[in-house]
Chains A and B, each alone.
Chain A
C-alpha cells in the first residue's frame, strides 16, 4: 500500500494545533507538530489564515511541502462559545466628606491634627482663635513653606497639619520648629476644598492610622451625631490599613449618593429555577446551581447591576455567534468572587478601593459554528482533500490514550483558555462529554482585577510565570524563599521590585504588593477556576455522578501546561483516590496535540479494521 501523508488539525478556542504523520500499512509515523494562536472565532472563515500559517510551519518541520499532503483532517469543533463578564456587587459611596487616604513612602511627622483648610499663602491673614490645616500646591518650595509655617506659628496662628502636593513631607517637617503631621504626594491637591474642617493623620513608619479609620474616631474629631456617623462610616472603612490620611467634612457636599441595586440572578434549570441575590457571593450562586438540574438559561433582574452585566454578556455572545440576543441561552456558568478596583467617589489622590465583585464566565451553544465551511474553504485554498473527522471529544480521547500508563476507562479534562471540557470513556467505549464555562482567560481576568492592573498582558504573564523579588544588585528572592545570585547586576528598573521571571528575562511589576500577596492572588484565581471546574466536570461525566468511581484522569490543553494548575488538581483529586496528571501525548508532546494526534490515529485504526 502506498504511503500517505496526513495532517490532523485541531481548531481550538485559543490555539490551532497540527500533527503531520506518514500513514501506511503499519503504525503511523509522526513527522512533525506545530501550534499557532487561533485566528478569529473558531469555526469561522477567519480561521483559515492561522491554519495555513501553521500548516506551512509544520510541513517545513517535517521536511515536506503542503502540497505533498494527501489529506487533511479537521476536528468537528465543539459548538460552544464562552464569554466573561465582571461587575461590582458592593461599592463604597462617600457623602458629605472628601478624603485622601494613601501610602506615600515618606510622609512627615506623626499623630493627628484637626483644623480648617487654608492655602499656604493666605495663612498669615488668618484669625488667631482657630486651628488650621495648610494646603501646599507644587509651586511652593519646601524651604519657603517651612519658613512660612514657622513664622505664622510664632505670630500666634495655630497650624495643626499640612497637605502637600510634592514629595516634600520630610523636608518641610525637618525644618519646622513645632512638629505637625504632614501628608504629601497628593496629586489632585486642587480638589481639596478650602475653608472646611479637615483632619490629617500620619502613622509612624511600620504602623497604620487608627483615628480616621475608626468611625467613632471620625465622630470624635468632627463632633458627629449617630446619624452623621452612620453616613461617614464608609470613609473609615476605606482608610483601614494605610499610613496617612486626610478627611475633610463637606456638609451638603457635592458628592451625591448613588445607588444601583446589586440585584438577583435567576438560574433556570430543567428541574427547578432559583433566584439568588448576587450579594450572597459566588459560593451561594454555585450552590444554587447544583440543585436545578441542567441549566437552561440565566437571567438577571432588570435595572440592577447583575441585569446590566448579563445583558452585556448576552449581547457579546450574540455578536460572536451571529445569533439574535433573544436566542442566546446560557448553557453553563461559573461564578467566582473577585475584588474589583474601584475609584472612591470623594477621593482626592487617585485612590482606589478593592470592592467586592463577582466574575461570571458563561457558555452558549451555537448553531452557526461550521467546521464544514472552514473545511471547504481550506480545500479551495490549498487544493488538498480536506475532511471533517469525528467528534472532538473522541479524537481527544484517542490522543490522550497515547499517554504512557493510561487505559480505558478514562476521563480527559481539557483545560483551555475559554472553556473546560471533559469526556469520559467506559469499558465499552461509550463516551460522555461536558463543556463548562471558565478556564485560563477567567484566571487572567481575576488576576488583573484583584491586582488592579491596567494591562491584561501583564496579568497573563503573572499567570504563566513564577515571581521573584530583587533584593540587591546581585540577589533575588524566589517564591520558595531561596535566594538566587547573579554575576551581572540587575537593571535599575527591577531593583527592589517584585518581578515576573520569564524565560527571556525579568519583567518588573508596576504595583507595590508583596511577592506573597501576588502569589496568593495568582494561586487563588487558579484554584477558584480550575479546581472548581475540575470537580464540576468530573461529576458531570462520571457514569455514577460519584467521583470515587473514576480512576484515571488525564489533563489536556494549554492550561495543563501551567506550572502549578495540574499539581493543584492532582492534589485535590487524590482525595477521591483518582490518579490525575497531565497528558504526555505520544510520550513526547506533553498535554498538547491530543486532538490532532487523535485525528490521524482514527484513520489508521479505520484501515486496520479493513474499511
Chain B
C-alpha cells in the first residue's frame, strides 16, 4: 500500500530564474502548511488536494477536484509570496488574500 504524506507538491517545469521559489515557499511556511519541491518526473502522492506548478515565469495553483488542467489561481514573478500564502489558505479553508 502507498503511504500518503501531507504536503503541498510544488512541481518545477523549466523554471525561469526570474521567479522566486523561495518566496513561494515562504508564503506556505508562514501559514504553517508543509510543502515539497519536486522535479517534473517525480511521482510522490500527497493527501492534500492542492498542488502548485511552476512553469517558466508563471505559477498555477490546482485543486484535485477541478477538471484536469484547470487552475484555481495563477500568478507570475513578483506574486510568489501571495501565491504560496493563498495556496496554503486554500488547504486550511481560510479566505484568500487577493489584493
Closest B residue to A497 using CB positions = B95
A221 at the interface (CB under 8 A from B): no
A450 at the interface (CB under 8 A from B): no
30 residue pairs A–B, Cβ–Cβ below 8 Å: A105-B94, A106-B30, A106-B31, A106-B32, A142-B26, A167-B85, A169-B30, A170-B29, A170-B30, A170-B31, A170-B32, A171-B26, A171-B30, A174-B29, A471-B93, A473-B63, A473-B65, A473-B72, A474-B65, A489-B65, A492-B72, A492-B96, A492-B98, A493-B96, A493-B98, A496-B93, A496-B95, A496-B96, A497-B95, A512-B95
| In contact, A496 and B89 (Cβ under 8 angstroms) | yes
| In contact, A473 and B66 (Cβ under 8 angstroms) | yes
CB-CB contacts of B35-75 with A at 8 A, as 1s and 0s?
00000000000000000000000000001011000001100
Neighbouring B residues of A489 by C-beta, 8 Å: 63, 65-66, 72
Inter-chain CA distance A168–B31, complex, in Å, is 10
A495 at the interface (CB under 8 A from B): yes
Determine the interface band of chain B, counting residues with CB < 8 A from chain A: 10 to 19
A472 at the interface (CB under 8 A from B): yes
B15 at the interface (CB under 8 A from A): no
Neighbouring B residues of A495 by C-beta, 8 Å: 90, 95-96
Task: List CB contacts (< 8 Å) of A492-523 with chain B.
Answer: 492-493, 495-497, 508, 512
Inter-chain CA distance A271–B77, complex, in Å, is 74
User: Contacts A495-B90, A496-B95 given; 12 further ones with Cβ under 8 A?
Assistant: A106-B30, A167-B30, A168-B30, A170-B30, A171-B26, A473-B63, A473-B66, A489-B66, A492-B73, A493-B98, A496-B93, A496-B94
| In contact, B30 and A472 (Cβ under 8 angstroms) | no
Inter-chain CA distance A105–B63, complex, in Å, is 23
Neighbouring B residues of A174 by C-beta, 8 Å: 29
Interface of A is mostly: loop
Neighbouring B residues of A496 by C-beta, 8 Å: 89, 93-96
Inter-chain CA distance A168–B86, complex, in Å, is 15
| A interface residues with partner B (beta carbon < 8 Å) | 105-106, 142, 167-171, 174, 471-474, 489, 492-493, 495-497, 508, 512
Closest B residue to A173 using CB positions = B30
Closest A residue to B94 using CB positions = A496
Inter-chain CA distance A186–B63, complex, in Å, is 32
Neighbouring B residues of A142 by C-beta, 8 Å: 26
Q: How far is the CB of B45 from chain A (nearest CB, A)?
A: 20
Q: How far is the CB of A395 from chain B (nearest CB, A)?
A: 49
Neighbouring A residues of B89 by C-beta, 8 Å: 496
Inter-chain CA distance A508–B96, complex, in Å, is 11
Neighbouring B residues of A169 by C-beta, 8 Å: 30
Interface centre among B85, B93, B95, B98 (most CB of A within 10 A): B95
Inter-chain CA distance A144–B38, complex, in Å, is 26
Inter-chain CA distance A512–B96, complex, in Å, is 12
Closest B residue to A168 using CB positions = B30
| In contact, A171 and B95 (Cβ under 8 angstroms) | no
Neighbouring B residues of A474 by C-beta, 8 Å: 65
Inter-chain CA distance A512–B65, complex, in Å, is 27
Neighbouring B residues of A497 by C-beta, 8 Å: 95
Q: How far is the CB of B99 from chain A (nearest CB, A)?
A: 10
Inter-chain CA distance A476–B72, complex, in Å, is 17
Neighbouring A residues of B63 by C-beta, 8 Å: 473, 489
Closest A residue to B90 using CB positions = A495
Inter-chain CA distance A248–B53, complex, in Å, is 45
Neighbouring A residues of B66 by C-beta, 8 Å: 473, 489
Closest B residue to A471 using CB positions = B93
Neighbouring A residues of B90 by C-beta, 8 Å: 495
| In contact, B93 and A472 (Cβ under 8 angstroms) | yes
Interface centre among B26, B30, B65, B72 (most CB of A within 10 A): B30
Inter-chain CA distance A167–B65, complex, in Å, is 30
Neighbouring B residues of A471 by C-beta, 8 Å: 93
Closest A residue to B63 using CB positions = A473
Neighbouring A residues of B98 by C-beta, 8 Å: 492-493
Neighbouring B residues of A167 by C-beta, 8 Å: 30, 85
Inter-chain CA distance A361–B90, complex, in Å, is 44
| In contact, A171 and B29 (Cβ under 8 angstroms) | yes
Q: How far is the CB of A237 from chain B (nearest CB, A)?
A: 28
Q: How far is the CB of A204 from chain B (nearest CB, A)?
A: 13
Inter-chain CA distance A219–B32, complex, in Å, is 35
Inter-chain CA distance A171–B73, complex, in Å, is 23
Inter-chain CA distance A93–B14, complex, in Å, is 57
Neighbouring A residues of B26 by C-beta, 8 Å: 142, 168, 171
Inter-chain CA distance A493–B86, complex, in Å, is 11
Closest B residue to A509 using CB positions = B95
Neighbouring A residues of B30 by C-beta, 8 Å: 106, 167-171
Q: How far is the CB of B90 from chain A (nearest CB, A)?
A: 7
Neighbouring A residues of B96 by C-beta, 8 Å: 492-493, 495-496
Inter-chain CA distance A493–B99, complex, in Å, is 10
Inter-chain CA distance A155–B14, complex, in Å, is 44
Q: How far is the CB of A28 from chain B (nearest CB, A)?
A: 54
Closest A residue to B65 using CB positions = A473
Interface centre among A169, A492, A512 (most CB of B within 10 A): A492
Q: How far is the CB of B23 from chain A (nearest CB, A)?
A: 10
Q: How far is the CB of B22 from chain A (nearest CB, A)?
A: 9
Q: How far is the CB of A488 from chain B (nearest CB, A)?
A: 10
Inter-chain CA distance A472–B66, complex, in Å, is 12
Closest A residue to B86 using CB positions = A492
Interface centre among A105, A472, A508 (most CB of B within 10 A): A105
5 nearest A-B pairs in the assembled complex, by CB-CB distance: A496-B95, A497-B95, A170-B30, A496-B94, A171-B30
CB-CB contacts of B79-99 with A at 8 A, as 1s and 0s?
000000110011001111010
